[in-house]
Amino acid sequence: MLNIVLTRIDDRLIHGQVVTAWAKVTKGNRIIVVDDKVANDEFMSKIIKMAAPASFKIGIHTVEAAAEILKGDDMGERVIVLVKTPMTVKSLMDNGVKIQELDLGGMGATKGRKQLYRNISISDDEKICFKELIDDGVHVVVQIVPDDSPKDIQNFFK
């Protein structure tokens, strides 16, 4: 299994906070973006790769491909896994990837979502998925930037 130093839900995927603050704190040197749609969109993949510093090894993969990569031999890399939804994390775990902690950093407001905290909105299905992840032993925290104190997501469920 690769050394995952951060698994983060952020619908922006790679952006300033990830490549500056989070990469610095985690000492990450590889980013794996897991999103079936983006992995199959050559244009979006190029845009996302351009947002990352050249010092990072970047991969954009489908859930199935990412699961196989993440289950591979540890090559001494410090891997940041970025996804857009909790369902992707659940799919990775269903495919044998071990995830112990999950950082919820950003899920924008869209139809069917209600505000959970600041820039984080979730749907009823996403809330159910977060609860399933917690039941599977994943510690889910809300922490937008490293300087914020991590807050257990369950504190926001009503």
Task: List the chain domain ranges.
Answer: 4-156
Q: Which of 3, 6, 10, 15 is catalytic?
A: 15
Instruction: Order the strands of the 79-83 sheet from edge to edge.
Output: 57-61, 30-34, 79-83, 4-10, 101-106, 139-142, 151-152
Contacts of 38 (CB under 8 A, 6+ apart): 13, 44, 45, 48, 60
What is the CATH code for 4-156?
Answer: 3.40.35.10
Amino acid sitting at position 66: A
Helices (H) and strands (E) in the chain, counts: 7, 9
Residue identified by tokens 């591979």 is 72
* 15 is known as an active-site residue: yes
Q: Tens place of pLDDT for every residue, the chain, 158 residues?
A: 999 999 999 998 988 767 778 988 999 999 999 999 999 999 999 999 988 888 889 999 999 999 999 999 998 999 999 999 999 999 999 999 999 999 999 999 999 999 999 989 999 999 999 999 999 999 999 999 999 999 999 999 97
Q: Do 114 and 121 contact (CB within 8 A), yes or no?
A: yes
pTM: predicted TM-score of the whole model, two decimal places? 0.95
